[in-house]
């Protein structure tokens, strides 16, 4: 198979086809417009494909074809270059309509095929001169594959085996959220003896989780902050219990490679509380515990990351705290109507509560990522 991919900004439009047929592609023809943005994206894609081929021991040939989409002469030149090639398969979902029509006509009259990917259903149509057939994507991307093809690298993540091993203690700590907040506050004020009398089993759990030392005191200032990491693990365990994703990573650090003003490459590392993918749709969850964040900033952060991952990415903010901050006078709602409206306009779902509720949590995850992630 000689795959011809039309490159544009929305990479998640064409990456699923590239990965699904990666073992069958002998030659990959990258078609891109000569505009600065498309040229840069094309170079990124080629670099990512080379890294992918190396990682998965593929010997696919890559050919770059630059074209001015507004030039009739250049389009005719491309048509002449590939006329008569019966091995061509066009991967052009989401591409400029004029170029897509021209190249589709070229491929079809040469007995080739056009693949049209449906992002909603994670299926694709195979179009030939005789008509079309619909097929399900059988080979879905993992997070590692998706990020590799997008040109990013994973710098680290929390060990999932360790989270599963510590599941009884983690679930015990978050079995009663208001109680957890109370215990966390009392630990910070060094009232361990009082806590040990009232909640001995829970303190033992915190000790086994390395939050408390042998005297049941917080193990340094980091221990208080680590409640947030435990909360991420708690949400991960609940996702594993109620849902089926193709891949999940927790506390994952990703290196984003960007071009600086003087053409040098700048590495920016972003950390995601929970990153997930299902049927080639990527999403992430921001886990917030207590009043250590600004809700509006959290919404804007989620929106900026959504923009990078593409228009079909999904985001959920899980926030557990009192609806108003108790130690602040005239405290506003943490997620008031205005902020919730802004989140909704950005396609960001918000689960905001002081106690974890299974039914409400499931509804919000389905709202964010679709009913297809529900465990049967």
Which helix (DSSP H) or strand (DSSP E) does residue 347 occupy? none
d(CA 58, CA 49): 10
Structural domain span for residue 125: 2-139
Residues 6+ apart with CB under 8 A from 204: none
Structural domain includes residue 144: no
pLDDT tops 50 at residue 261: no
Determine the average pLDDT of the residues in 18-23: 97
Is there a contact between 207 and 216 (Cβ–Cβ < 8 Å)? Answer: yes
Q: What is the distance, to the nearest Å, from the Cα of residue 246 to the centroid of all Cα atoms in its chain?
A: 12
The number of residues in the chain equals 376
Residue finishing a domain among 89, 105, 139: 139
Residue finishing a domain among 85, 113, 139: 139
Structural domain includes residue 150: no
- The candidate with the shortest Cα–Cα distance to 202, out of 181, 228, 233, is 181
Is there a contact between 302 and 274 (Cβ–Cβ < 8 Å)? Answer: no
Is there a contact between 287 and 158 (Cβ–Cβ < 8 Å)? Answer: no
Place of tokens 């009043």: 291
Q: How many helices (H) and strands (E) does the chain have?
A: 14, 13
Does one domain contain both 82 and 201? no
Q: What is the total count of domains within the chain?
A: 2
Alpha-carbon Rg for the chain, nearest whole angstrom, is: 25
Query: How far is CA 331 from each of CA 169, 297, 298, rounded to the nearest angstrom?
Result: 33, 17, 18
- The candidate with the shortest Cα–Cα distance to 64, out of 32, 104, 92, 86, is 32
Does one domain contain both 113 and 166? no
Structural domain includes residue 145: no
Structural domain includes residue 203: yes
Does one domain contain both 44 and 177? no
Does one domain contain both 246 and 369? yes
Does one domain contain both 47 and 195? no
Structural domain includes residue 147: no
Does one domain contain both 232 and 356? yes
Does one domain contain both 65 and 166? no
Q: 123 burial class (0-12, 13-18, 19+ CB within 10 angstroms)?
A: middle
Structural domain includes residue 146: no
d(CA 234, CA 257): 31
185-205 confidence digits (pLDDT tens):
888 888 888 888 899 999 999
> Residue 260: which pLDDT band, with cuts at 50, 70 and 90?
very low
48-79 confidence digits (pLDDT tens):
999 999 999 999 999 999 999 889 899 999 99
277-336 confidence digits (pLDDT tens):
999 999 999 999 876 678 888 898 899 888 888 888 999 999 998 765 555 555 556 788
132-178 confidence digits (pLDDT tens):
999 999 999 999 999 999 998 889 999 999 999 999 999 999 999 98
CATH number at residue 199: 3.40.1350.10
Tokens representing residue 131 in the block:
């008509």
Residue finishing a domain among 110, 139, 168: 139
Does one domain contain both 103 and 164? no
Average model confidence (pLDDT) for the chain? Answer: 90
Does one domain contain both 222 and 319? yes
Is there a contact between 356 and 174 (Cβ–Cβ < 8 Å)? Answer: yes
SS (H, E, C) 19-56: HHCCCCCCEEEEEEECCHHHHHHHHHHHHHHHHHHHHC
Calculate ∠ Cα 202-161-138, nearest 5°: 130
Structural domain includes residue 249: yes
Is there a contact between 237 and 170 (Cβ–Cβ < 8 Å)? Answer: yes
Residue 332: the pLDDT is 59
> Residue 274: which pLDDT band, with cuts at 50, 70 and 90?
very high
d(CA 254, CA 154): 5
User: What's this model's pTM, rounded to 2 decimal places?
Assistant: 0.90
d(CA 94, CA 12): 10
Residue with the larger pLDDT of the pair 265 and 200: 200
Does one domain contain both 44 and 171? no
Does one domain contain both 313 and 355? yes
CATH number at residue 97: 3.40.50.10770
Does one domain contain both 238 and 285? yes
d(CA 79, CA 90): 13
Structural domain includes residue 277: yes
Pairing of strands 131-136, 123-128: antiparallel
């Amino acid at each position: 198979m000689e795959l011809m991919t039309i490159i544009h900004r929305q990479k998640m439009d064409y990456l699923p086809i590239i990965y699904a047929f990666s073992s069958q592609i002998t030659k990959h023809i990258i078609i891109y417009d000569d505009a600065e943005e498309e040229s840069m994206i094309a170079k990124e894609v080629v670099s990512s494909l080379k890294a992918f081929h190396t990682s998965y021991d593929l010997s696919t040939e890559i050919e770059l074809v630059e074209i001015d989409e507004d030039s009739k002469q250049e389009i005719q030149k491309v048509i002449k270059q590939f006329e008569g090639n019966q091995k061509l398969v066009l991967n052009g979902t989401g591409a400029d309509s004029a170029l897509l029509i021209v190249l589709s006509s070229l491929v079809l009259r040469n007995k080739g095929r056009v693949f049209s990917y449906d992002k909603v259903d994670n299926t694709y149509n195979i179009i030939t001169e005789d008509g079309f057939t619909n097929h399900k994507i059988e080979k879905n991307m993992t997070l590692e594959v998706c990020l590799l093809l997008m040109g990013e690298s994973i710098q680290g993540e929390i060990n999932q085996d360790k989270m599963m091993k510590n599941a009884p203690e983690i679930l015990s700590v978050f079995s009663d959220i208001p109680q957890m907040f109370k215990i966390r506050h009392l630990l910070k004020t060094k009232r361990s003896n009082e806590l040990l009398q009232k909640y001995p089993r829970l303190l033992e759990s915190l000790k086994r989780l390395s939050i408390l030392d042998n005297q049941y005191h917080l193990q340094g200032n980091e221990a208080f902050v680590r409640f947030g990491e435990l909360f991420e693990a708690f949400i991960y365990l609940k996702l594993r219990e109620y849902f089926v994703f193709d891949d999940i990573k927790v506390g994952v650090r990703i290196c984003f490679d960007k071009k600086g003003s003087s053409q040098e490459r700048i590495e920016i590392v972003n950390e995601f509380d929970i990153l997930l993918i299902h049927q080639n749709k990527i999403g992430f969850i921001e886990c917030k515990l207590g009043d250590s964040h600004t809700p509006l900033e959290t919404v804007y952060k989620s929106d900026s990351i959504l923009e990078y991952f593409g228009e079909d990415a999904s985001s959920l903010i899980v926030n557990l705290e009192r609806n108003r901050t108790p130690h602040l006078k005239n405290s506003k709602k943490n997620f008031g109507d205005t902020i919730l409206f802004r989140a909704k306009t950005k396609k960001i779902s918000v689960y905001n509560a002081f106690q974890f509720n299974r039914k409400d949590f499931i509804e919000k995850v389905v709202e964010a990522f679709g009913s297809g992630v529900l465990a049967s």
